[in-house]
Amino acid sequence: MKQSLQLRIGHQLSMTPQLQQAIKLLQLSSMDLQLEIQQALYSNPMLELAEELEHATEQAAEETAQKPSETQQTEEWNKEIPDELPVDARWDDVFGNAPSAGPRQSEGSAESRDLDEFHSVTASLQDHLLWQLNLTPMSDVDRLIATTIIDNVNDQGFLESPIEDLWQAIYSAPENSPQDNPIELEDALAVLHRVQQFDPPGVCATDLRECLLIQLGQLAPETVGLEDAIKLTRDYLPLVAERNIQTLSSKSGLTPEAIQQAIELIQTLSPRPGDSIVVSDNGYVTPDVVVKKISDRWVVTLNNELTPRLAINQTYANLVQRANNSAENKFMRNHLQEARWFLRSLESRNDTLMRVSRSIVEKQQAFLEQGPEAMKPMVLADIAELLGLHESTISRVTTQKYIDTPRGVYELKYFFSSHVSTDSGGECSSTAIRAMLKRMVDSEPPEKPYSDSKLAVMLQAEGIQVARRTVAKYRESLRIPASNDRKRFKQSA
């Protein structure tokens, strides 16, 4: 094959580093943006916090004004120091008002404590169980078994492996020689029963039945309906879940009144004991945008408390010389340019977020005034066409960005939903349909809940054309049980 050179003309779209930075900042959440700003402050000497610059200026002025008086006070105090002190004297008793390098605080004062020392002792369910284990007198072998059991407890409080498997793993470990220190299965079972008495009640159970029985066993013997509850949980737990009182009465020989009393006692137990201990990692949501109604007009403002105000350090910026090509000057010139682009990217992010938020509020004013049932159908293309932006840009702006409204804090993506046709030829938002379904289910008669077909007919009566399968899909997304399960639940309430 003969080699040759060819010249071709083409177009290629490439993003500059500045554009890449602007897109990156646009899609960051408020927490990630704060981390990005902190990293930029650490890496770029040209960037400074505006608050620190203002505080440094004020502090320098105060130090200049107070310097003569402090110097005079120090000289007077030095003159009062005697040559010798009594042997049993204390420095603070004689010179309690002596000037120090920093502010003097009492030992019991709340301001003298380091806030970093205040932390939660219980970080997980395992930590809570290990803390109780350390307070329980046990032999080394029993403590090894208990530690193995606690390590196999999941976040809900149940054992992930049977005790036989755990015992076999301990028994066959190389460091546990059966000749020197034999570990029997009965020993493992005894330790398991001991750990099952730890807090929270019902922990370290293998299934729901055992979990409930452990909790019932820890109740006072004089508890009303305790024996009947233990019997029903041990022998007829599936029927208890179905609340089939007639079948329970015929099989257990108990009266319907006793069964009802036992079921009420069982309902006070926790099916997932670990939920009361596990610390959730979900923090508070801080809104990026705030909307308020002022003089019959919805006003949208940015939450400026989320991100710190940045400024360029003018002291370093004034040292940059245009004609100087030294390494130091080039270093400072590059960082100055990066600082300016970073500030522009932040300004662009805030401007785009404000434009998108205002457009959403303008289109969803009915939701703000009337509630979810008045939500209008809206997709990303509607806002993109209104603002002259790409749909991907709208998607980046609305991801992990929250708006504070009089009806609560919502993610901006909450206001975007698909639509369903109506009898009048219009469109209804799927969010509004979910709100209608919730209202219908809340007002249904307890003895005869509405089926999915009935709910579909009721929606059609309000002019919304929706199929039974669609109603079932919306109902499941709202975590509303089926009509049969709702009937049992409302009867037991």
Query: Would you state the pLDDT for residue 158?
Result: 93
Per-residue CA distances from 122 to 31, 118, 203 (Å): 25, 12, 16
Banded model confidence at residue 178, pLDDT cuts 50, 70, 90:
very low
Residues 227-281: pLDDT tens digits? 999 999 999 998 888 888 888 899 999 999 999 999 999 989 999 988 877 555 5
The token duo for 118 is 């205040």
Q: At residue 493, does pLDDT exceed 70?
A: no
Q: What is the mean pLDDT of residues 311-320?
A: 86
Here the tokens at position 208 are 């729901």
Q: Going by C-beta distance under 8 Å and a sequence separation of 6 or more, which residues neighbour residue 47?
A: 40, 41, 310, 311, 312, 313, 339, 342
Q: Residue 135 has what pLDDT?
A: 84
As given in the structure block, the two tokens for residue 132 are 């109780």
Predicted confidence band at 92 (pLDDT cuts at 50, 70, 90)?
A: low
Residue 108, classed as helix, strand or coil, is: coil
Q: Which residue matches tokens 């350390």?
A: 134
pLDDT at 210: 93
Residue 300 has pLDDT above 90, yes or no: yes
Lowest-confidence pick of 126-140, 180-194, 251-265, 414-428: 414-428
Using pLDDT thresholds of 50, 70 and 90, give the confidence band for residue 356. Answer: very high
pLDDT class for 98, splitting at 50, 70, 90? very low
Nearest to 278 by CA among 429, 462, 154: 154
List the structure tokens of 164. Answer: 């036989």
Average pLDDT over residues 41-66: 72
The rounded distance, in Å, linking the Cα atoms of 369 and 55 is 43
Residue 181 has pLDDT above 60, yes or no: no
Tell me what the mean pLDDT of segment 325-330 comes to.
87
Q: Which two tokens stand for residue 380?
A: 């990303």
Q: What is the pLDDT of residues 395-430, one digit of tens each?
A: 888 888 999 999 889 999 889 887 777 777 677 888
For the segment 148-163, what is each residue's pLDDT rounded down to a tens digit?
Answer: 999 999 988 999 888 8
The residue whose two tokens read 């059966």 is 178
pLDDT, residue 122, reads: 45
Question: By the 8 A CB rule, do 274 and 153 touch?
Answer: yes
Tell me the pLDDT band of 192, cut-offs 50, 70 and 90: very high
Residue 88 has pLDDT above 70, yes or no: no
The amino acid at residue 154 is N
CA 271 to chain CA mean position, Å? 23
Domains of the chain: 125-276 (no CATH), 289-415 (no CATH), 419-492 (1.10.10.60)
Pair of tokens at residue 220: 């006072």
The amino acid occupying position 356 is: V
- Please name the residues in contact with 61: beta carbons below 8 A apart, sequence gap of 6 or more: none
Q: What is the mean pLDDT of residues 31-60?
A: 80
- This prediction's pTM: 0.58
Give whole-number Cα distances, 438 to 145, 406, 477, in Å. 49, 21, 11
pLDDT above 50 for 112: no
What gap in Å lies between CA 37 and CA 33, rounded to an integer? Answer: 6
Over residues 212-228, the pLDDT tens digits come to: 999 999 998 889 999 99
List the structure tokens of 191. Answer: 């330790």
**DSSP secondary structure code for residue 117 in this structure:** G
Average pLDDT, rounded, for the chain = 80
Res 74 pLDDT > 50: no
